[in-house]
Amino acid sequence: MIVNEGKLFKGAVIIEGERIVAVIDGQVYNEDDFDTVINGQWSMVDGQSLYLLPGVIDSHVHFRDPGLTHKADINSESRAAVAGGVTSVMDMPNTNPQTTTLEDWEAKMDNFAQHSLVNYSCYFGATNTNYDLFDKLDKSRVPGIKLFMGSSTGNMLVDRKESLRHIFGGTDMLIMAHCEDQHTISENTAKYRGADGDAPIELHPIIRSEEACWLSSKLAVELAQETNARLHIAHISTARELALLSDKPLEQKRITSEVCISHLMFNDTDYQRLGARVKCNPAVKSLADQQALQHALQGNLLDTVATDHAPHLLSEKEGGALKAMSGMPSIQFSLNCMLELVDKGIITMETLVQKMCHNPALLYHIQGRGFIRPGYQADLVLVRPCNPWTVSDEMVQSKCGWSPLAGHQFNWQIERTFVNGNQVYFDGNISNNHKGQSLIFN
For residue range 223-232, list pLDDT tens digits in order: 999 999 999 9
Look at residue 141 and tell me whether its pLDDT is greater than 90: yes
Look at residue 41 and tell me whether its pLDDT is greater than 70: no
- Asked whether residue 395 is assigned to any structural domain, the reply reads no
30 and 152 share one domain: no
- Asked whether residue 73 is assigned to any structural domain, the reply reads yes
For residue range 248-299, list pLDDT tens digits in order: 999 999 999 999 999 999 999 999 999 999 999 999 999 999 999 999 999 9
Distance CA 309, CA 71 (A): 12
198 and 263 share one domain: yes
End-to-end C-alpha distance for the chain, whole angstroms: 30
- Asked whether residue 224 is assigned to any structural domain, the reply reads yes
- Asked whether residue 216 is assigned to any structural domain, the reply reads yes
Confidence at residue 347, expressed as pLDDT on a 0 to 100 scale: 98
Look at residue 47 and tell me whether its pLDDT is greater than 60: no
Confidence at residue 152, expressed as pLDDT on a 0 to 100 scale: 62
Look at residue 45 and tell me whether its pLDDT is greater than 50: no
Look at residue 378 and tell me whether its pLDDT is greater than 60: yes
- Going by C-alpha positions, the residue among 394, 378, 382 that lies closest to residue 15 is 378
Look at residue 438 and tell me whether its pLDDT is greater than 60: yes
- Asked whether residue 397 is assigned to any structural domain, the reply reads no
Residue 380 lies in domain = 2-52+370-390+409-430
- Going by C-alpha positions, the residue among 107, 144, 131 that lies closest to residue 306 is 144
How far lies 4's CA from each of 1, 12, 25, 351, in Å?
Answer: 10, 12, 11, 10
DSSP-based three-state secondary structure for 59? strand
- Residue 264 identity (one-letter amino acid): L
42 and 64 share one domain: no
414 and 271 share one domain: no
- Asked whether residue 438 is assigned to any structural domain, the reply reads no
129 and 187 share one domain: yes
**CATH label of the domain that carries residue 40:** 2.30.40.10
Confidence of residue 122 (pLDDT cuts 50, 70, 90): very high
Rounded mean pLDDT, 216-222:
97
Q: Domain boundary residue among 363, 380, 399? A: 363
Q: Calculate the average pLDDT of the chain.
A: 95
- Asked whether residue 354 is assigned to any structural domain, the reply reads yes
Confidence of residue 34 (pLDDT cuts 50, 70, 90): confident
321 and 358 share one domain: yes
All residues at 6 or more sequence positions from 417 whose CB lies less than 8 Å from its CB, including other chains: 55, 82, 83, 85, 86, 87, 380, 381, 382, 423, 424, 425, 426
**CATH label of the domain that carries residue 175:** 3.20.20.140
- Asked whether residue 396 is assigned to any structural domain, the reply reads no
**Per mean pLDDT, which range of 98-112, 115-129, 149-163, 313-327 is the poorest?**
149-163
Distance CA 438, CA 442 (A): 13
138 and 226 share one domain: yes
What is the reported pTM? Answer: 0.97
Confidence at residue 44, expressed as pLDDT on a 0 to 100 scale: 42
For residue range 200-212, list pLDDT tens digits in order: 999 999 999 999 9
Confidence at residue 160, expressed as pLDDT on a 0 to 100 scale: 86
94 and 153 share one domain: yes
380 and 262 share one domain: no
Look at residue 121 and tell me whether its pLDDT is greater than 50: yes
Please tell me the total count of domains within the chain.
Answer: 2
Is the Cα dihedral 126, 128, 129, 135 positive or negative? positive
Is the Cα dihedral 211, 213, 216, 219 positive or negative? negative
For residue range 164-217, list pLDDT tens digits in order: 999 999 999 999 999 999 999 999 999 999 999 999 999 999 999 999 999 999
215 and 347 share one domain: yes
Q: State CA 335 to chain mean position distance.
A: 10
DSSP-based three-state secondary structure for 420? coil
18 and 159 share one domain: no
DSSP state of 214: H
127 and 36 share one domain: no
Distance CA 95, CA 255 (A): 27
Q: Which residue has the higher pLDDT, 290 or 32?
A: 290
